[in-house]
A and B are shown apart, each in its own frame.
Chain A
Amino acid sequence: MQLTGAQIIWECLVREGVDVVFGYPGGAILHAYDALTQYTDRIHHVLVRHEQGASHMADGYARATSKVGVCVATSGPGATNLITGLATAMMDSSPIVAITGQVPVDAIGSDAFQETDVTGATLPVTKHNYLVTDVAELAYTIKEAFYIARTGRPGPVLIDIPKDVQKALTEFIYPEENIVLPGYQPPSSANDDQLAAMVELIHNSERPVILAGHGVTMSGANAEVQELAERLQIPIAQTLLGKGCVPEEHPMVIGWMGMHGDAAVNHAIQEADLLIAAGMRFDDRVTGNLKTYSPYSKKIHIDIDPSELNKNVPTDVPVAGDLRTVLAQLLPKLERRQHPEWLNLIRDRQEDANERDILHHDTGDKLITAQVINDLWKHTNGNAITVSDVGQHQMLEAQYYPHQRPNTLLTSGGLGTMGFGFPAAIGAKFGKPDEEVWAVVGDGGFQMTLCELATAKQENINVNIAIINNNFLGMVRQWQELFYDKRYQSTPMFSPDFCKLADAYDIPSMRVTSRDQMAESVEFARNIDGPVLIEYVVEKEEMVYPMVPAGADLHDMKRRPKPGESA
């Protein structure tokens, strides 16, 4: 069957199981859009308002579903606008395929209109990328791109397709054989030596901690990690992206780690005699000062990406493998163990943290973010998919909205991309139409991608937007308060009247200024089929505690004083 390159793109996408793409047309991708006309019964195209939104939507879709998200853009500025989204997906190992138009093959290198070296520009922010210069390669390349995006350590893959390649005709043969790449064989299992070494360390440990990261869910090892924790009574500490990989209400889950993580967890890591790092990568926000990080512990590190082993933290037993496979090998070799003293020590510290919790402080009539998030949790029965942006509200979401299921907290962890939350929530809702989806965003981050309000309205997508408005770039202000003598340079922020703005897009909205409106606001959002915007006007100068200052030792946390204590 003779097909054009443009038709082959959609034929391949259909075969990869893609039913929604996020994109924006333009000159160099027009052939592809023209061919899309024949595929609209199988593929729904979401017209975004800025290509960055398309990349975040594909990312949100991928994180919510564990399937590959797809975004489409034209050459030049269209493609460069994707870069922030690609970098975000790269840092958080999110599988997306980006398809970009390119100027015709003969024009490449001539500085043609809307020409950018997109494969060059995206090289450091993609897992792999392609420039397809012959239509005969196209089908195989697309199949390979999806394979690379979703296997091993997932990540973004970009395919740059010149306009004349989209137009060219070729015999369409979909490659039925499995992709075999000589330089790409993700590792799978542990060897006997590694298993024996792990068993010995785990059996001999008195103060073990499991560090559970994003890889737990990506590998589908949730049940295995829970089993490991239950059988040997090992507490589980989660990373930001690992939250919910084992239900947070599970008795072995002690909380989350790092800069704004639970104090009891950070202390446990520092005092542990064994860390079992499972699908996490010892990011600096998790370790603090590497020189003093968990000094008494032996370390087991299981990750599918061999380059992560011994990268930041020297490891006693590094295992390059698929976490689920490795744990399935390991579990039958392990005996039951108890660590009552260790667990009691951690629980005592959790009691202490509870006393410091701002929810137990008298905050008068003021609306504070922790309450907003906690009430949101209560009124959504802790069961929504929340997509947070970046900043104070993101950290408070992680602290006050416990997640019981994997893939229900979606947030830009590694890159910390402001503007991610709202478009990613749209993408997540397309992936999980039956779930309640909330974008929890700050006034700063929301304004970076608020143009997607039009997309949400055009699609009538049922996403609830909770804007936590403190008229500040809150997290930067917190750093200025603590480390720059309260010189609030460029952090106080004018914002539009968000409700009027919603009105302009014909989106229902509500402004919440006191706590007794919380239940009503959630109910209001739930009863509307389509996008809803709720503005929560909160205290201007809140602090997120605990806090490990950047580069400080993990146990050196700034804490909120207990009631009655002075700061």
Chain B
Amino acid sequence: MTDRDIQTKQGKMTIVALVENKAGVLNRVASLFRRRAFNVDSLTVGRTHKPHVSRMTIVVDGGVENPYKVAAHLKKLVNVIDVRVLNDIPHVSRDLLLVKVRVDGSERSNGVTSICERYPAKIIDIGPYVAIVEMSGTEELVEKFLKALEPFEIVELVRTGVVAMGRGTRIQDTEFEPPAPLKNVTSTHKSVV
């Protein structure tokens, strides 16, 4: 698929970036999106199994943004090690949801319980008035689950945004090690993102 085919293609596009785990890197990425007016649906970031590497999953609307253009600008940042557009390859993605719903009254509590049984969802906290339900799945499944919960009263909701990974042996990793002079430096400002 060429860049230009993508420009007219609808749907959400998932970009995964490996970045150096240094102070200010998230700010650089966020600043880039703001400056270039890229429309970001969600952005998640966290540590990886390598202490000096963090990983970001960015979802953009493919109908509005050319994800290859976003990727090219991302790659241009010095602290960004590797960028891939995951829609090119088979991949899995998950969005994690915590939702607090009213469960006062047996009708409500039975209803919520039965919906949770039909989805990969768990009640992780429950009291006489409200329960917290945890659910993770593709973004579409999370949306569907929320739709099902709508008749009950949602009082609080949080989502992590999508994280994604290529399937099978499509491994996105880096051999990068920090240069020797910087390896043992204990900087006061080092932190994730």
Which of A's residues lie within 8 Å of B, judged by CB? 105, 119-120, 123-124, 127-128, 131, 133-134, 136-137, 139-140, 148, 173, 175, 177, 179-184, 305-307, 309-311, 314
Contact = CB atoms under 8 A, between A and B. Distances in A.
A305 B174 CA distance: 22
A182 B174 contact: yes
A175 B181 contact: yes
A131 B189 CA distance: 9
Interface residues of B, number: 34
Interface string B44-70: 000000000000000000000010110
B178 to A, nearest CB: 9
Question: Most chain-B CB neighbours within 10 Å: which of A105, A124, A173?
Answer: A124
A56 to B, nearest CB: 23
B77 interface: yes
Contacts, number: 70
Given A119-B24, A148-B78, A182-B81, A140 B186 contact: no
A72 B189 CA distance: 24
B75 A183 contact: yes
A309 B185 contact: no
A177 B179 contact: yes
A105 B28 CA distance: 21
B69 A307 contact: yes
A148 B188 CA distance: 24
A182 B176 contact: yes
Interface string B145-179: 00000000000000000000000000000101001
A131 B181 CA distance: 17
22 contacts: A119-B24, A123-B27, A128-B78, A131-B23, A133-B187, A134-B185, A140-B179, A140-B182, A148-B78, A173-B181, A175-B181, A177-B180, A181-B78, A182-B81, A182-B174, A183-B80, A307-B75, A309-B72, A310-B4, A310-B68, A310-B69, A314-B4
B27 to A, nearest CB: 7
A136 B80 CA distance: 23
Interface in B70-94: 72-73, 75-82
A183 B186 contact: no
Contact of A133 (B3, B73, B189): B189
Contacts of A105: 188
A521 to B, nearest CB: 45
Given A182-B176, A310-B69, A314-B4, A139 B181 contact: yes
B75 A306 contact: yes
Contacts of A314: 4
Contact of B186 (A128, A134, A181): A134
A140 B181 contact: yes
Given A123-B31, A134-B185, A310-B69, 16 more contacts: A128-B78, A131-B24, A133-B187, A136-B181, A137-B185, A175-B181, A177-B179, A182-B176, A183-B19, A183-B77, A183-B78, A183-B79, A305-B76, A307-B73, A309-B72, A310-B68
> Interface on chain B toward A: helix, strand, loop, or mixed SS?
mixed
A311 B69 contact: yes
B187 to A, nearest CB: 5
B182 A137 contact: yes
B35 interface: yes
A309 B4 CA distance: 12
Contacts of A173: 181
Nearest to A135: B185
Contacts of B176: 182
Contacts of B35: 124
Contacts of B24: 119, 131
Closest 4 CB pairs of A and B: A182-B176, A307-B72, A183-B81, A182-B81
A136 B75 contact: no
A179 B178 CA distance: 11
Contacts of A124: 31, 35
B80 to A, nearest CB: 5
- Of A131, A182, A184, chain B has the most CB atoms within 10 Å of the CB of A182
Contacts of B174: 182
A148 B187 CA distance: 22
A311 B36 CA distance: 11
A133 B27 CA distance: 18
Contacts of B188: 105, 133-134
A171 to B, nearest CB: 11
Interface in B18-36: 19-20, 23-24, 27-28, 31, 35
Contacts of B78: 127-128, 148, 181, 183-184
Nearest to B35: A124
Nearest to A105: B188
Contacts of B179: 140, 175, 177, 179-180
Contacts of A175: 179, 181
A120 B19 CA distance: 18
A182 B185 contact: no
